[in-house]
Amino acid sequence: MKKIINKPEDLVIEMCQGMAAAHPDKIAFKSKYKLITRKTLNKNKVTLISGGGSGHEPAHGGLVGEGMLDVAVCGDVFASPSTIQVYNAILDSESDKGTLLIVKNYSGDCMNFDAASEMAEEDDDIMVEKVYVNDDIAVKDSLYTVGRRGVAGTVLVHKIAGAAAERGDSLQDVKAVAEKVIANVRSIGFALTSCTVPAKGTPTFELGDDEIEFGVGIHGEPGIARESIKSADTLAQEMVDKLLKDLPFHGGDEVALMVNGLGGTPLQELYVLNNAVYKLLEKANIKVYKTFVGNYMTAIDMAGASLTLLKLDDALKELLDAPVDTIALKQ
Amino acid sequence: MEKATLKSVMTVVDQMADIIIKNEVPFCELDSVAGDGDFGMSVAKGFKVLKENWEELSKESIAQFLKDSGMIITEHCGGASGPIWGSAFRGAAKYAKGKEDLNVSEVAELFQSGIDAIQKRGGAKLGDKTLLDAIIPATESLKESAASNISMKDAMKKAAQSAVDGAEKTKDMVARKGRASYVGERSLSHPDAGATAIGIIFTEIVENMSN
């Protein structure tokens, strides 16, 4: 393992402190419960809280700011924050309009965010609602599993729910629009390499030079299939086919497209992938209304990318276009 | 030792913490085949804080000691381990309320109360390839031992064996909870990390009892 690191156990705190030092105009870091909060909290809007394990930078701290999140709760690398951390995030950012928790659908996150919201509702009478993002189509969903994972689509949920909250919408309305995004967003990813969790020091899985792992999540957990390396066009085709079938998306649809790097892939490759995807969508008569290319929801240093498509209507377009001022997203 | 006292409960928890801390890396290895490889670290983190705060834990009663332990575990274990292990301790504490010591049947009920709390939080059941696949058989074995008047030591020995057997059986299961559930059939032939850990912890505690 070669990383810019002191001690693995200090990494999250030092990273958050470094982030706050770089952006004192936008965020503040409260180290006791590892909360990255907006510099100034507005009591007259619905509070948006998200978070999860660290290692997905810039998510979630980089998505805190005007038009997006109010608080990001930072767990250890790839591990959900504790119930106590989330509970304190809710207490610290209480507003007059209630709180929405945006949770990625993982067992640990769901348990901790659920338990924390119960505490805040029962002990402190704070209105708390929750939505669970599950955009990853790699995972088969059935009655017998925990369902699909939340991945890069979460960023678009933050963006749109954030705009609705900023506009002054009620808790129920912000929740409804977040759920609308969740219902209309789909993602799929692949890895060219594993990632290396600092505390472990070695790659989570081994991939040969000619192999890729298709359908990976954002924690270095294995995907659904080991495949041989292929051209960008073939890879894009495989992903777009799966995505379009899943919702399904139809000719004439308008979408937001996110080509998200997993942390170890150069921008040039992400743009190559975007080019391939763009051509395929054009062929399918799907109009790309807005594109995001970059690292938004990463898996530390994994080489690879994910594709996210969000089906849009006029209401979602308006919220997607609203101003935002965070470390990772600014418009 | 026919009854578990506050002192013996504290000893068991202390040893449990040592075993978990000692196995931090192996427990992570178990979790990296189908999971995300952080299980050992998450659990060890909470139990290290428990050891550091040992002096501050209530020594008033079994219930209070377990509750204090559960609060620390809830706060300091990362990921899914905090709510699961923390709920187990807090659930067990609930049952121990007002009891000065515990016979085999009561130890079984204490475990059951912990299991109930885990299931309430996480919603897993027997056969989902989780640590419950080791704890539930161990608890059932304690109940059987209580019914046939077996000594505490022998009852714990049998329970440990049931936990190990239960963990072994998770090899043939497809994970339905946690991150291992995402890899579907690929989790087959690998035992569940949590269940395996329970088997290891139980076995080593029983060995310590015999010495």
Task: Please tell me the predicted confidence (pLDDT) of residue B12.
Answer: 97
Q: For residue A82, give the nearest of B38, B82, B121 by CB distance.
A: B82
| pLDDT at B29 exceeding the cut of 90 | no
Q: Region A153-168: what's the mean pLDDT? A: 98
Write the single-letter amino acid at B200.
Answer: I
Of B28, B177, B179, the CB nearest to A219: B179
Place of tokens 């049952």: B95
Please list every residue in chain A whose beta carbon sits closer than 8 Å to the beta carbon of residue B185: none
The b/e string for A291-316 (b: 16+ C-beta within 10 A; e otherwise) is: ebbebbbbbbbbbbbbbbbbbbeeeb
Residues 6+ apart with CB under 8 A from A61: A16, A19, A27, A36, A72, A74, A327
**Subunit contact A138:B182, Cβ cutoff 8 A:** yes
Q: Which one of A23, A60, A219, A250 is the catalytic residue? A: A219
> What is the gyration radius of the CA atoms in chain A, in angstroms?
19
**Is A60 among the catalytic positions?**
no
Query: Would you place residue B30 in the very low, low, confident or very high pLDDT band (cuts 50, 70, 90)?
Result: confident
Range name among A9-13, A139-143, B137-141, B161-165 with the lowest pLDDT average: A139-143
Q: pLDDT per residue over B145-198, tens digit each?
A: 999 999 999 999 999 999 999 999 999 998 888 777 777 777 888 999 999 999
| C-alpha closest to that of B90 among A222, A83, A202 | A83
For an interface test with A, which of B25, B27, B30, B36 has the most A Cβ atoms less than 10 Å from its Cβ?
Answer: B36
- Check if B26 contacts A (Cβ < 8 Å): no
Q: What are the CB-based long-range contacts (under 8 Å, 24+) for B72-75?
A: B72/B46, B73/B46, B73/B47, B74/A82, B74/A83, B74/A84, B75/A82, B75/A83, B75/A84, B75/A85, B75/B46, B75/B49
Question: What average pLDDT is seen over chain B?
Answer: 93
Mean pLDDT of chain A: 95
Does the pLDDT value for residue B8 go beyond 90? yes
pLDDT digits (tens, 9 = 90+) for B93-107: 999 999 999 999 999
In what helix (H) or strand (E) does residue B69 lie, and over which residues does it extend?
helix B62-76
Q: A189 forms bridges with which residues in the sheet?
A: A306
Beta carbons of A131 and A182 less than 8 angstroms apart? yes
Which range (A274-278, A320-324, B50-54, B72-76) has the least confidence? Answer: B72-76
B-chain residue closest to A214, CA distance: B183
Partners of residue A204 in chain B, C-beta under 8 Å: 32, 36-37
Interchain contact B41–A (C-beta under 8 A): yes
Per-residue pLDDT band at A178 (split at 50, 70, 90): very high
A56 annotated active-site: yes
**B1 pLDDT more than 60:** no
Contact yes or no for A76 and B41 at CB 8 A = yes
pLDDT bracket for residue A145 (50, 70, 90): low
The band of A123, judged by pLDDT with boundaries at 50, 70 and 90, is confident
State the Cα–Cα distance between residues B14 and B108, nearest whole angstrom: 20
Mutation target to probe the B interface, by most B beta carbons within 10 A, among A107, A110, A134, A141 is A107
Nearest by CB: A84 against B36, B74, B186: B74
CA of B60, closest CA in chain A: separation in Å?
A: 25
CA distance B16 to B66: 13
Q: Residue B63: pLDDT above 90?
A: yes
Q: Taking Cα atoms as reference points, which of A104, A96, A11 lies closest to residue A49?
A: A104
- Please say whether the beta carbons of A215 and A189 come within 8 A: yes
| A110 CA: distance to closest CA in chain B (Å) | 9
Q: Are A38 and A63 in contact (CB under 8 A)?
A: no
Q: In the predicted model, what is the mean pLDDT of residues B126-131?
A: 94
Contact A82 B122 (CB under 8 A): no
- Specify the pLDDT at position B37: 72
Contact A221 B183 (CB under 8 A): yes
The crossing angle, in degrees rounded to 10, of helices B39-52 and B6-22 is 140
- How confident is the model over A221-239, as pLDDT tens digits? 778 889 999 999 999 999 9
Task: Tell me the residue type at A148.
Answer: R
pLDDT in tens, A25-80: 999 999 999 999 999 999 999 999 999 999 999 999 999 999 999 999 999 999 89
Put simply, the answer to whether B79 touches A77 (Cβ < 8 Å) is no
Is pLDDT above 70 for A144? Answer: no
Determine the pLDDT at residue A141.
63
Tokens, residue A33: 């419960």
Average pLDDT (B69-82) is 91
Nearest to B36 among A138, A145, A220 (CB): A220
- Closest CA relative to residue B206, chosen from B160, B146, B151: B160
Number of residues written out for chain A: 331
Q: Which residues of A touch B76 (CB under 8 A)?
A: 82
Taking the alpha carbons at both ends of chain A, their separation in whole angstroms is: 37
Q: Quote the pLDDT of residue A142.
A: 55
pLDDT at A143: 52
Q: Across residues A113-140, what is the average pLDDT? A: 93
